[in-house]
Structure 1
Amino acid sequence: MAYRYWCGECDHRTPWLDQPRAAQQLLQHYARHHPATPPGGRIETTRRTPGTGTGCLAALAALALLLAFAAARRH
């Protein structure tokens, strides 16, 4: 599972990371930008593991192949 932590004081958010690394980045952000404020905000989660997704690339490649196949059959 991947986590993204959002700052409760500004619009900062961490990248999608495993939970300990995302929490550490938020703590570092608070120490630098909001030193007298206890950490807060919200946590966003996703089921995917960070760095393993192919995004839309696989869907676009499949669509391109289908379009090429359809165009080849028409001629």
Structure 2
Amino acid sequence: MAYRYRCGECSFKTSWGTESQGEQAQITHYTDRHPGLCPGGTVEANTKNPEGSIGCLGVLAVLFLLFVLAASCNR
């Protein structure tokens, strides 16, 4: 799943990436732009296209087609 962090002090937002990449980018932003403040804000999760959901559906589709093919060959 991809994550994006938004600054609690300004309009900065990180690019979509892993949770650790976003957290590090937010810490770097706070260090540069808001020294002395603890990093805050919000975290967004990309739920429209979670990583791996299409792959799982693809595997299920292939297994289904193999099952249909095997069933039709046994007649």
The TM-score with structure 2 as length reference comes to 0.62
Amino acid at match of 1:43: V
Paired with 2:39 and 2:20, the residues of 1 have a C-alpha distance of 15
Paired with 2:9 and 2:37, the residues of 1 have a C-alpha distance of 9
Unaligned stretches of 5+ residues in structure 2: 52-75
Runs ≥4 residues deviating over 6 A: none
Query: In the TM superposition, what is the alpha-carbon distance from 1:10 to its structure 2 partner?
Result: 0.1
Paired with 1:38 and 1:25, the residues of 2 have a C-alpha distance of 14
Match of 1:28 in 2: 28
Count of aligned pairs between the two proteins:
49
Unaligned stretches of 5+ residues in structure 1: 50-75
Amino acid at match of 2:25: Q
Query: In the TM superposition, what is the alpha-carbon distance from 1:46 to its structure 2 partner?
Result: 1.2
RMSD: 0.9
Higher Cα Rg, which structure: 2
Match of 1:2 in 2: 2
Match of 2:46 in 1: 46
